[in-house]
Homo-oligomer: A and B are copies of this chain.
Amino acid sequence: MIRPLLVMRLLTMPCLWMGLVQLVFGELSFMFFKDNVASNFTLPASITLGISLIILIGFKKYPLPSVTNREAMLFATLTWVAVGMLGAIPIVTIAHVSFTDGVFESISGLTTTGATVLSGLDSMPKTFLMYRQFLQWMGGLGVVIFVVAILPMLNIGGMRLLKAETPGPIKDDKLSPRVANTTHYLWLVYVTITALCALCYYLAGMSVFDAIGHSFSTVSTGGFSTHDASMGYFHSNLMLWICNVFMVLGATNFALHYRVYLANSIKLYWKDEEMRSFLIIIFVISVILATYLYHNGNEHSFWQSLTDSFFHIISFITSTGFAATDLSKWPVVTAVILIFVGYIGGCAGSTAGGNKVIRNIIALKSVGLEIKRLVHPNGVFTMKFQRRTISGEVRHAVMAFMCLAALTTIIFTILLMFTGLSFMAALSATAACLNVLGPGFAELGNNFAPLSDVATWLMSAAMILGRLEYFTVLVLFFPVLWRQ
């Protein structure tokens, strides 16, 4: 059963939050950056806050009962849609783009995609630039709460797997107490890692502004930058390796971070099967790419080739999407590798997008199991992950997720091509949005401005679809959700 009034009341929370954020940025512009865009933030903020408070006060008498699974899914999707719209208003008025483009940019921020329709960033008001960076950081935190606290309860795409991994009370099947319980430690971890990241960037030579801004978009694996040249602006290998570390930390299961903190043992990272596989995958693919680039690209030394390969593989596998060089000058095969690496994704329970390492492992183990079964048709085989048996139900959900990701990619690619894009542009944009990765190739190599309005809306939908792991959104279109 869906209670529309309850969902509406819940929705006022993220809207209130967005209003507060915009209010703060208005003050920042007025008091600190003095870049004359204060009213672009305070005006929509006041309206949002006003309406939200009226709704909140109007429904004050209603107690907030436990939220059902169905309501949680509707709430999650509507949150990203509503906050995406509200977040777009300052973008539209400051960067002078259409509402379509503004919503795209805002959703790209909040979903931590990092695809942009803007160019000439370096000369834009600082308040505005920091606002974009902050959208990603806030979106990243929202996603972490969603994937750590809500996904495992809903078992979306087989993520019940992670339930036992998550600290806090797990026997209660109601969502609300659980969310409240896990949120506070996620905050702690997320803020700590971001602060460390900003500090490292600053020590490596970034300005305070850039260090904070880029820490926001690194830990959230968002990929927005305050410069058109992205991380390439700084011409610093040291910064790329700092970025590598924090992109990987952002793409690590935040529940694992918390366990490492509780146990005070960094070894737990390596003991975790998903994390271990993640690091091995990064290492192997990066070394292969480095070797190829050294022999076929424009790299001067193997060390530079290695740095560039690790940076771009990590940037794409963690779905961050930073670039440090003009990727259009690399051989086309590297673009194809980077696009498909994005489908591997980071660890579950992180800010990263993509199909997630854990699902890839389970899919591969599934293939291995079938091979065993061919040789021993009457044998009984079970799948183990992290020394626990994986149920058939989880396997089904994981494999359905993988198929859905592939099917969605094909459909969106063809739809984009109908709007006039080349195959490479359409495929790369689809992959970039579904995996909340960011960068496109071919015509979209610089930014997403060449997209038609229809294509822009398609990609906005794709970002929300991918961010909420397909099923959360898809279920809204099936009558089974709306039936009593």
> Hey, which bits of chain A sit against chain B, CB under 8 A?
69-70, 73, 154-157, 292, 332-333, 336-337, 340, 363, 366-367, 369-377, 392-393, 395-397, 399-404, 406, 410, 413-414, 417-418, 422-424, 471, 474-475, 478, 480-481
- Write out the residue numbers on chain B whose beta carbons fall within 8 Å of the beta carbon of A404: 367
Interface-central residue, A333, A418, A474, by most chain B CB under 10 Å: A333
Asked if A414 and B366 sit within 8 Å, CB to CB, the answer is no
Main secondary structure, interface of A, reads helix
Bound-state CA distance A480–B367 (Å) is 14
State the Cβ distance, A77 to closest chain B Cβ, in Å: 13
Asked if A374 and B475 sit within 8 Å, CB to CB, the answer is yes
Asked if B332 and A366 sit within 8 Å, CB to CB, the answer is no
Q: How many copies does the complex hold?
A: 2
- Write out the residue numbers on chain B whose beta carbons fall within 8 Å of the beta carbon of A336: 413-414, 417, 423
Bound-state CA distance A69–B378 (Å) is 12
Asked if B374 and A156 sit within 8 Å, CB to CB, the answer is yes
A-B contact pairs, 24 of them (CB 8 A): A70-B375, A154-B374, A155-B373, A157-B370, A332-B423, A336-B414, A366-B400, A369-B396, A370-B471, A371-B471, A371-B474, A372-B480, A373-B397, A374-B471, A374-B475, A375-B478, A392-B392, A395-B396, A396-B399, A399-B399, A402-B402, A402-B406, A403-B403, A406-B406
Q: Of all chain B residues, which has the CB nearest A156?
A: B374
Given that A366-B400, A374-B154, A375-B480 are contacting pairs, would A292 and B418 also be in contact in the complex, using a CB cutoff of 8 Å?
yes
Asked if B471 and A399 sit within 8 Å, CB to CB, the answer is no
Asked if B333 and A366 sit within 8 Å, CB to CB, the answer is no
Asked if B400 and A69 sit within 8 Å, CB to CB, the answer is no
- Write out the residue numbers on chain B whose beta carbons fall within 8 Å of the beta carbon of A392: 392, 396
- Write out the residue numbers on chain B whose beta carbons fall within 8 Å of the beta carbon of A402: 399, 402-403, 406
Bound-state CA distance A402–B370 (Å) is 12
- Write out the residue numbers on chain B whose beta carbons fall within 8 Å of the beta carbon of A422: 332
Bound-state CA distance A396–B154 (Å) is 21
Q: Of all chain B residues, which has the CB nearest A379?
A: B480
- Write out the residue numbers on chain B whose beta carbons fall within 8 Å of the beta carbon of A370: 157, 396-397, 400-401, 471
Bound-state CA distance A268–B406 (Å) is 33
Asked if A337 and B414 sit within 8 Å, CB to CB, the answer is yes
Asked if A374 and B73 sit within 8 Å, CB to CB, the answer is yes
Asked if B400 and A478 sit within 8 Å, CB to CB, the answer is no
Q: Of all chain B residues, which has the CB nearest A405?
A: B406
Asked if B69 and A417 sit within 8 Å, CB to CB, the answer is no
Bound-state CA distance A465–B369 (Å) is 19
Q: Of all chain B residues, which has the CB nearest A160?
A: B377
- Write out the residue numbers on chain B whose beta carbons fall within 8 Å of the beta carbon of A156: 374
List 7 tightest A-B contacts by C-beta distance, closest first.
A399-B399, A333-B417, A370-B400, A366-B400, A363-B403, A367-B400, A392-B392
- Write out the residue numbers on chain B whose beta carbons fall within 8 Å of the beta carbon of A375: 69-70, 475, 478, 480-481
- Write out the residue numbers on chain B whose beta carbons fall within 8 Å of the beta carbon of A363: 400, 403
State the Cβ distance, A71 to closest chain B Cβ, in Å: 11
- Write out the residue numbers on chain B whose beta carbons fall within 8 Å of the beta carbon of A376: 480
Given A333-B418, A369-B396, list of 18 further CB < 8 A pairs?
A69-B374, A69-B375, A70-B375, A155-B374, A332-B423, A333-B414, A336-B417, A367-B403, A370-B396, A370-B397, A370-B400, A371-B471, A371-B475, A374-B471, A374-B475, A375-B475, A399-B403, A403-B403
State the Cβ distance, A118 to closest chain B Cβ, in Å: 28
Bound-state CA distance A418–B292 (Å) is 9
Bound-state CA distance A396–B365 (Å) is 11
Asked if B366 and A478 sit within 8 Å, CB to CB, the answer is no
Bound-state CA distance A402–B402 (Å) is 9
Q: Of all chain B residues, which has the CB nearest A332?
A: B423
State the Cβ distance, A192 to closest chain B Cβ, in Å: 33
- Write out the residue numbers on chain B whose beta carbons fall within 8 Å of the beta carbon of A418: 292, 333
Bound-state CA distance A369–B474 (Å) is 13
Q: Of all chain B residues, which has the CB nearest A70?
A: B375
